[in-house]
Chain A
Amino acid sequence: MNYFSDVGALARKDLRLELRSRDTFLSMVLFVVATLVVFSFSLPAQTEAEASYGLLWVALLFTAILGLTRAFAAEREQRVLDGLVLAPCDRSAIWLGKALAVVAFLALAELVALPAFALFFEPVTWELVAAVVLADLGLAAVGTLLAAMAAASRARELLLPLLLLPLAIPIVVGGVGASISDDPGRFLGFLALYDVIFAILSWASFEYVVTE
């Protein structure tokens, strides 16, 4: 019980901080909509409709990177992370709390992005929404761990995309597949598998990344 109350407290801290300043969330929303508009200019007129689904996933991926880069920015600025690590809670609770907050941010951004996509490009199916949810979980799980690594480095914002993009390739495949395939179930199942595997791995290895 204590573990989950720690997680809840940590997640709530991030969400409350964000609610007060709202800058990360607003940037993410604006970024994803702006990216979609740029994409509308990048596709030639004869492109098949399905190509736009691919662009949606790219936009979501980069929006996630934007949000994740900010995930530990606040901590770094106030050296709070050191304090959190010293706190008498399981280090992995930090990971879970932050990952949940990231999922919340992504979900809020997608609440705007998906209707915008449906307006500009193609209709949004239930499979797409399911894929987006699963992708959010995977991205948040892996991204939070990698963001912690990047935060400890000198390269910071430059390092996170480099680390995340190769790991995000399966997510993109799963997402695009679920969006355009005749058998989206396979891809949704794959996304779920990815989430389970990498969430467990990230949860177990977070403490090794974050301790001095």
Chain B
Amino acid sequence: MSTSLRNNTAVALAVAAFVLLLGGLALAFYWVPDAPIEGFRQRIFYIHVPVALTAYACFGWAAWKALRLLWLRDERYDLESYTAVHMGLIFGILTLVTGSIWARTSWGVWWSWGERQLVLFLVLFLFYSAYFMLRYSVDPGPRRARMSAVYALFGVVLIPVSFLAIRLAEGLIHPVVFDRNVNSNLAGSQLFTFLVCFAGTLALAASLYVNELTGKRVDERLRELREALT
């Protein structure tokens, strides 16, 4: 990708994130009416679920880049996959924190093993944290790139398998103490607000991703330059 095209993408993503996220938050706080049963605290939904879905998107993106690395044997994708996992982990932690706050305001507890999304993200948090441990304990090179790629692929497969496991565990292993009154039929205004916020968090993640990737690539270039000059 030529530098100017990349720069334009970076700017476009940043502007998109600015507009969409601010717009979405404004909608979430000023426009959308209170939810019928839950009331004001339902508004956490507009940040919690977009962040969660964005985390999934990051992990999926990382797995896609990992697949490209293994398929095309191009080490260039390693940095992209690694940065995507990093983004996914950040958004995953945000999901856990916002989800915990939502649980607290809904049920008075900071954690509930009956809350599927939270438990799933806990498992993923453990998994992708181990990704970093893997990278830190292997010397940089094509082998580390390949191992990270394989691991990232395992992660994306683990997401549905874990979800299935957590659903099976419900009731039998983890008690279902609380049940969220999730109105799956969102009202029009709620759906619109959600979509804008979701687009905003995706743009935010993409913007941060491009920024971090550029930073890492500049690091690489500087290292090359330093070697060439000394």
Contacts and interface: CB of A to CB of B under 8 A. Distances in A.
Contacts of B142: 212
A208 B165 contact: no
B5 to A, nearest CB: 31
A208 B172 CA distance: 39
Contact of A201 (B126, B143, B154, B166): B154
Contacts of A145: 150
B173 A177 contact: yes
A162 B133 contact: yes
Given A159-B137, A162-B130, A169-B162, A149 B147 contact: yes
Interface in A157-187: 158-159, 162-163, 165-167, 169-170, 173-174, 176-177, 180-181, 186-187
Interface of B is mostly: helix
Nearest to A183: B172
B126 A194 contact: no
Contacts of B139: 154
Given A149-B147, A212-B143, A167 B154 contact: yes
B123 interface: yes
A190 interface: yes
A197 B157 contact: yes
A177 B168 contact: yes
Interface of B: 70, 123-124, 126-127, 130, 133-134, 137-139, 142-143, 146-147, 149-151, 153-154, 157-158, 161-162, 164-166, 168-169, 172-173
21 contacts: A149-B150, A152-B147, A153-B138, A154-B138, A154-B139, A158-B137, A159-B134, A162-B130, A166-B123, A166-B158, A170-B161, A177-B168, A177-B172, A181-B172, A194-B161, A201-B153, A201-B157, A208-B146, A209-B147, A211-B143, A212-B142
Interface of A: 142, 145, 149, 152-155, 158-159, 162-163, 165-167, 169-170, 173-174, 176-177, 180-181, 186-187, 190, 193-194, 197-198, 201, 205, 208-209, 211-212
